């Protein structure tokens, strides 16, 4: 069984005015702190996903940690571990590093800014990407204005199309309901994402390769 977890990593490009108004992103988003999501599959919680934001002057550092474990009769049949770090300065991605254990398959990504490009590697493969791309982290509201996203576990550019699905009620981990602005991401990377009134992701979902639905729900 193979599941691919979603990651939520980045801050960067400015949103167009219409999108900024739609999801009401405040200046300085995101604030320092940690966001935690529960990961659900077919009615069972299978893991957690945390994103920590730290600011130091004009520098933003984002740490992402995902832990997923699927069991059958108390035996682990699938494990996914993902740790990533991003450094942003003045709205530009300066460095992205990620290490992933996808059920025994190790993946190592490093991208660093060199002029107007991001250069580095995925495992032993050299990588060069346009410097204006952002990772497919979802938490960044600028995601909805992109035509390409960086797939975080392999560091490759993926073509995407974004569709606005309007406002929907979303139930948080503590049972409270909030209004989420729903967007569908299709193309080489497929995701559903709901942004809350403050620009924070309140829910994300997508189908794993085995067809099961993975849902990431904000705990608070």
- The answer to whether 144 and 191 have CB atoms below 8 angstroms apart is no
pLDDT of residue 21: 42
* Residue 217 · residue 40 · CB < 8 Å: yes
What confidence tier does 13 reach under pLDDT thresholds 50, 70, 90?
Answer: very low
Please provide the CATH number assigned to the domain covering 17-218: 2.50.20
- The residues, ordered by sequence, that sit 6+ positions from 76 with a Cβ below 8 Å of its Cβ are 69, 70
CA distance 209 to 184: 18
Q: What is the 3-state secondary structure (H, E, C) of 77-132?
A: EEEEEEEEEEEEECCEEEEEEEEEEECCEEEEEEEEEECCEEEEEECCEEEEEECC
The pTM of this model reads 0.84
Using the predicted structure, report yes or no on whether residue 103 has a pLDDT greater than 90. Answer: yes
CA atoms of 88 and 16, how far apart (whole Å): 20
Percent of the chain exceeding pLDDT 70 equals 87
Domain boundaries, the chain: 17-218
pLDDT tens column, 184-217: 999 999 999 999 988 899 999 998 878 889 999 9
Which tens digits make up the pLDDT trace of 26-79? 566 788 999 999 999 989 999 999 999 999 988 999 999 999 999 988 899 999
N- to C-terminal Cα separation, the chain: 30
Query: Percent of the chain, pLDDT > 90?
Result: 72
Q: State how far the alpha carbon of 137 is from the alpha carbons of 1, 32, 73, 175, in Å.
A: 23, 17, 32, 25
Kindly list the distances between the CA atom of residue 111 and the CA atoms of 33, 55, 61, 63, 96, in Å, as whole numbers in the listed order: 24, 20, 15, 15, 5
Task: Give residue 112's pLDDT.
Answer: 98
Instruction: Render pLDDT for 113-162 as a digit per residue (tens, 0 to 9).
Output: 999 999 999 999 999 999 999 999 887 888 999 999 999 999 999 999 99
């Amino acid at each position: 069984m193979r599941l691919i977890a979603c990651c939520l990593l980045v801050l960067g490009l400015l949103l167009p005015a219409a999108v900024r108004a739609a999801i009401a992103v405040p200046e300085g988003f995101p604030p320092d702190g940690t966001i935690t999501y529960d990961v659900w599959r077919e009615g069972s919680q299978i893991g957690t996903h945390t994103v920590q934001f730290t600011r130091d002057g004009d520098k933003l550092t984002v740490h992402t940690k995902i832990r997923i474990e699927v069991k059958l009769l108390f035996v682990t049949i699938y494990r996914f571990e993902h740790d990533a770090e991003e450094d942003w300065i003045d709205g530009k991605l300066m460095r992205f590093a990620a290490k992933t254990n996808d059920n025994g398959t190790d993946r190592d990504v490093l991208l660093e800014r060199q002029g107007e490009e991001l250069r580095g590697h995925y495992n032993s493969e050299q990588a060069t990407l346009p410097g204006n791309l952002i990772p497919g982290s979802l938490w960044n509201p600028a995601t909805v204005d992109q035509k390409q996203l960086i797939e975080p576990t392999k560091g490759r550019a993926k073509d995407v199309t974004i569709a606005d699905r309007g406002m929907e009620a979303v139930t948080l981990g503590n049972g409270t309901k909030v209004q989420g602005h729903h967007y569908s991401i299709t193309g080489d990377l497929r995701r559903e994402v709901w942004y809350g009134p403050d620009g924070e992701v309140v829910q994300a979902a997508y189908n794993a390769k085995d067809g099961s639905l993975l849902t990431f729900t904000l705990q608070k």
